[in-house]
Structure 1
Amino acid sequence: MSLNVAGTGTAKPRVARAATRDRAGRVGRRRMRPEQRRSRIVAWIAVVVIGAFGFLPVYWLVATALTSDTQAFKIKPDLFPREITFSHFTKLARNEDLFHYMVNSVLVSVLTAVLSVFVSAYMAYSFSKFRYRGRKSLMNLVLASQMFPQALLLVTLYAVFSSLGLLNTYLALVLSFTTFTLPLCVWMMKGIFDTIPDALIEAAAIDGASRWRTLHTVVLPLAAPGLVASGLFAFVRSWNDFVFALTLTGSDKQTLPPGLVHTYLGEFQTAWPDLMAASFVVSIPVVAAFMILQRYLVGGLAAGAVKG
């Protein structure tokens, strides 16, 4: 009998607490003001609109790639493909030019990412941990370089590379892409170095470590998320460039964006389904790299945005 009484005694408070929570929830829902409801509805509408703005182009790309040529060139295209075909994807396996353009893109993007991270790490560390004459002016100069349109510098860079004999080379693309990715990488890395306490660097100096060793064995490992974020930004920026890759190099050194245009678009052809299929396939490496390094990217951007 005592066991039943004890069990009943413990069950009653649980039922009472559940009833209290239920009443509180109903009261909270009844107390929601009309302004709060309108703001919540507006927020959801904004989320839907932004999501549609981001995902509808991707859906249209995939839908066009799966559509036959006759359906793709209709005057009134269908929102959903009526006949799904994978023939445009199978053609990619027989396209040797596409593989050549992809190799060029990988080579140029990787070199640009490595060079951007290498240079920006030393520049940002100098701006963050050293005090010398002209430091703020150099920092503002690096930031001001982002104010000029990149296409405006194309003529100047073309003339410089032509005088140096660097046209139609990978080096011209790597240097031009690094020029545009470096300012943002420097400021991102500076924000991350600012979060590293100076006491940690002083402790390494007391232990006998040189400045060079302190940077490579203490500071850079702590700034790894920022290095990954900067490298990923430089990689994606060089992977997606069209104007400089089209102007500074010929057909044998061109990367994917101008290579796809030359392959599928022209005066006598407009192979939109084939172009969409190729665009979908070549975007997979970038998406995969972003998904793998996403936590480092978010950590690096967050660390660089807050000064400790």
Structure 2
Amino acid sequence: MSATTLDATPTPSTPPPSRPVPSATPAPRRRRGALRSERPGVRIAAWATVVVCGGFGLLPVYWLLATSLTPRDQVFAYPPRFFPAAPTLDAFAALASNEQLFVYLRNSVIVSVVTAVLSVLVSAYMGYSFSKFRYRGRRSLMYLVLASQMFPQALLLITLYSVFSAYGLLNTYTAMVLSFTTFTLPLCVWMLKGFFDTIPDELVEAARVDGASRLRIIHSIVLPLAAPGLIAAGLFAFVRGWNDFVFALTLAGPEKQTLPPGLVNTFIGEASTAWPELMAASLVVSLPVAIAFIALQKYLVGGLTAGAVKG
């Protein structure tokens, strides 16, 4: 019996090698768009598009620089030269010796800075009111502010001229600042409203429960969080005051004119035009705006896209 029992006892055997179990999740497939983007033809087309668009944007800037370095008697040489044959800095030297241009520069800085500050100040309160308060006529007022952008600015020039003349504001900084601010407010208000919409209402309610007043909430909590939107609105208003030509030419006299009409009156005459000096002045005038855009571009993009995606 014992021998039979022992013989019946199964002997341990080595288990067969385990085979790898296939994963339940299939390997991610490469998208068709990714495959297409790796093709040489697509890459060449993309780079060609970038080069063409970049050339389209930078060619006028290069032409400004090339013309400013060209002697006046060679500006209209035929065939035209893309590279000056004898570059000179006489045009830039003429700018430095023209004292009237510094007067125009001072006027542009004053008008543009005051316009930016006033536009941001007014649009911040209006945008916060439209975003966080609910009252009768709010939506109608919002659309009324937006509809004011539909009117051409030149259409209101005669009306503004008559109003400023009646109140004795012609040939003053006040006339230009008020006119520039009038046309920058609608976009600044809607830009800041979209930014204020991204700030949670619970944050405002928590501050109100803690005993903060409405002015304390907007000054200490909301405005610091909306700093990128404020910078974007201020930059837009600054550029509007810096580049305006029609209103600065009509509402201000020679002593209060800004750079755009000042350059035209200085270098463009009935008989001839000083093209190298005009191009050099245009290039120098464009530098502050270009530097501001490069330094603040991330705030500008954030302010313009705020409120576009709500989650």
Bucket of the pairwise TM-score, normalised by the shorter protein: 0.7 to 0.9
Task: For 1:191 and 1:160, locate their aligned partners in 2 and report how far apart those are by CA, in whole Å.
Answer: 33
Alignment deviations for residues 236-277 of structure 1 (CA, whole Å, 9 cap, x no partner):
111001011001111110000000000000112200000011
Task: For 1:36 and 1:79, locate their aligned partners in 2 and report how far apart those are by CA, in whole Å.
Answer: 35
Task: For 2:244 and 2:44, locate their aligned partners in 1 and report how far apart those are by CA, in whole Å.
Answer: 39
Q: Are residues 1:80 and 2:77 paired?
A: no
Residue 119 (structure 1) aligns with: 122
In the TM superposition, 1:58-207 aligns within 5 A as: 58-207=61-210
Task: For 2:232 and 2:307, locate their aligned partners in 1 and report how far apart those are by CA, in whole Å.
Answer: 10
Equivalent of residue 247 in structure 1, options 239, 245, 250: 250
Task: For 1:85 and 1:34, locate their aligned partners in 2 and report how far apart those are by CA, in whole Å.
Answer: 46
User: In the TM superposition, what is the alpha-carbon distance from 1:296 to its structure 2 partner?
Assistant: 1.9
Residue 8 (structure 2) aligns with: none
User: In the TM superposition, what is the alpha-carbon distance from 1:205 to its structure 2 partner?
Assistant: 0.6
Alignment deviations for residues 157-213 of structure 1 (CA, whole Å, 9 cap, x no partner):
111111111111100100000011100000000000000000000010111100110
Task: For 1:139 and 1:36, locate their aligned partners in 2 and report how far apart those are by CA, in whole Å.
Answer: 49
Amino acid at match of 1:56: L
- Find the residue that maps to 1:267 and give its secondary structure: coil
RMSD of aligned alpha carbons: 2.1
Residue 216 (structure 1) aligns with: 219
Residue 236 (structure 2) aligns with: 233
User: In the TM superposition, what is the alpha-carbon distance from 1:36 to its structure 2 partner?
Assistant: 6.6
Residue 3 (structure 1) aligns with: none
- Find the residue that maps to 1:114 and give its secondary structure: helix
Q: Which moved more, 1:244-253 or 1:280-289?
A: 280-289
- Find the residue that maps to 1:296 and give its secondary structure: helix
8 Å CA contact 2:184–2:237 kept in 1: the answer is yes
Residue 281 (structure 2) aligns with: 278
User: In the TM superposition, what is the alpha-carbon distance from 1:33 to its structure 2 partner?
Assistant: 5.8
Structure 1 pair 184/269, CA: closer, same or farther in 2 (3 Å)?
same
8 Å CA contact 2:108–2:258 kept in 1: the answer is yes
Structure 1 pair 36/143, CA: closer, same or farther in 2 (3 Å)?
farther
User: In the TM superposition, what is the alpha-carbon distance from 1:150 to its structure 2 partner?
Assistant: 1.1
Normalised to the residue count of structure 2, the TM-score between the two structures is: 0.85
Deviating runs (4+, > 6 A) in structure 1? 34-37
Task: For 1:35 and 1:283, locate their aligned partners in 2 and report how far apart those are by CA, in whole Å.
Answer: 39
Alignment deviations for residues 73-97 of structure 1 (CA, whole Å, 9 cap, x no partner):
3243211111111111111111101
Identity %: 71
8 Å CA contact 1:114–1:231 kept in 2: the answer is yes
Residue 15 (structure 1) aligns with: none
Higher Cα radius of gyration: 2
- Find the residue that maps to 1:152 and give its secondary structure: helix
Task: For 1:39 and 1:285, locate their aligned partners in 2 and report how far apart those are by CA, in whole Å.
Answer: 37
Alignment deviations for residues 278-302 of structure 1 (CA, whole Å, 9 cap, x no partner):
1111222222222222222222223
Structure 1 pair 144/41, CA: closer, same or farther in 2 (3 Å)?
farther
Residue 21 (structure 1) aligns with: none
8 Å CA contact 1:117–1:227 kept in 2: the answer is yes
Alignment deviations for residues 53-90 of structure 1 (CA, whole Å, 9 cap, x no partner):
21110010011011111211324321111111111111
Q: Are residues 1:56 and 2:82 paired?
A: no
Q: Which moved more, 1:282-291 or 1:91-100?
A: 282-291
Gap regions ≥5 residues in structure 2: 1-29
Structure 1 pair 38/112, CA: closer, same or farther in 2 (3 Å)?
same
Structure 1 pair 291/32, CA: closer, same or farther in 2 (3 Å)?
closer
Amino acid at match of 2:57: G
Amino acid at match of 1:141: L
Q: Are residues 1:287 and 2:286 paired?
A: no
8 Å CA contact 2:199–2:222 kept in 1: the answer is yes
Structure 1 pair 87/165, CA: closer, same or farther in 2 (3 Å)?
same
Task: For 1:232 and 1:58, locate their aligned partners in 2 and report how far apart those are by CA, in whole Å.
Answer: 21
Higher helix residue share: 1
